[in-house]
Structure 1
Amino acid sequence: MNILIIDDDCLVAGALKTILEAEKDFHVPACGHDGTDAVSLYREHRPDVLLMDIRMKEMSGLDASAEILKEFPDARILLLTTFSDDEYIIKSLKLGAKGYLLKQDYQNIVPAIRAIFSGQTVFGNEIVSKIPSLLQQTPSFHYEDFDIHDRELEIIELIAEGLSNKEIASRLYLSEGTVRNYLSSILDKLELRDRTQVAVFYYQHKA
């Protein structure tokens, strides 16, 4: 698995590279130090996962994420920061980042990368606890207005919990193919791009 590291602190970037390459199946082809590096290096290496700091001098990780996701909608981006800033969390969710971890949760970085690579969305416990209160609710919202039926709503709720297609299939006694079909239908009906946006949509409209 190829992982690109972007962090404006050279010592942090080097430490992250050491941690990741201790895993036999992880390879770090390059490290960058700001958002402009992230964009150019992503185009060059097309990594499986991009691990990126948020606060950087020339271009922030959020701005770089927006540019990368516009060009590569399937990009798997894990934002890593020392700040559990409410505005950062909301922006990262709405952009479609696959994860947001605090740097002090370094022991969770490797499992988070593996989870994101397998299609899951990962947010640290401190972040998850904040999400419902951060995202503004929309009054008088009804999924029925979008032709979302009960089974699809169940799947939306499980996606919001961070479950993968395989885990959802096991929970609901469905095949993974059936779950993928439901997810495709949900994305089409709600006019969303990916499962991260489904989770954001759910929390925005949770009663």
Structure 2
Amino acid sequence: MKLKLTLLFSILSISIFAQTNLGIGLVTIKFDDKTVLPFYTSINDKEPVKTIRFFNDKSINSWNIKDLKNQQKWLKPEILWLDYNYFVFRCEEKENNWFKIIVDNESGKSLWIKKSKSTLFRNWEKFLQDMFSVQRKSKTDKIYKLPNKNSGAIRYSGEDCFQVRSMKGDWIEVFTSECDDVKSQLKSGWIKWKDGNNLLIEYFPTS
């Protein structure tokens, strides 16, 4: 699990920064070697300010973004994991057929993209429910019986390999998933997943 975490968050450039606006959810881009994604400063703009183009990169046997090195000077999304078709942005607003997305998780810079067959919006609850697992960033963050700190903490010593059942404000209801130690099952518990714009969890799209 530690190796996968390192690969996921370091080599594969999944960007999670504490002070960047979490927004209302996330937009996943479904792409292939013919995908062209234009970005606009305003929904009234006729011409894009940035455009990225995908292609079939035979040198790595995978789809890739043209001129990726220069594009990454401004493109620092929530997830950029091309080998596994994960290309995800935090979404600040939805307006008609447009999404205002954070294109740089370090600076918080936002641009607009058009809704299309290539875009999938999910709120944070649905997004986290679709993850393979989540874990607490700090094991000092307790697991509670209900979504409040007065409900009493749950004693749990197993691996943090939770799935998300539901969300209530800053809290998520979690249970142990298939990757957890069978001897330490958690049928239901609540943890805080955020504090303001600070994520208190790490999530893993795949095993």
The answer to which structure, 1 or 2, has the higher relative contact order (CA under 8 A, 6+ apart) is 2
Larger radius of gyration: 2
Say whether the fold is shared (TM-score over 0.5). no
* TM-score normalised according to structure 1 size: 0.30
* TM-score normalised according to structure 2 size: 0.30
In proportion to residue count, which structure has more strand? Answer: 2
In proportion to residue count, which structure has more helix? Answer: 1
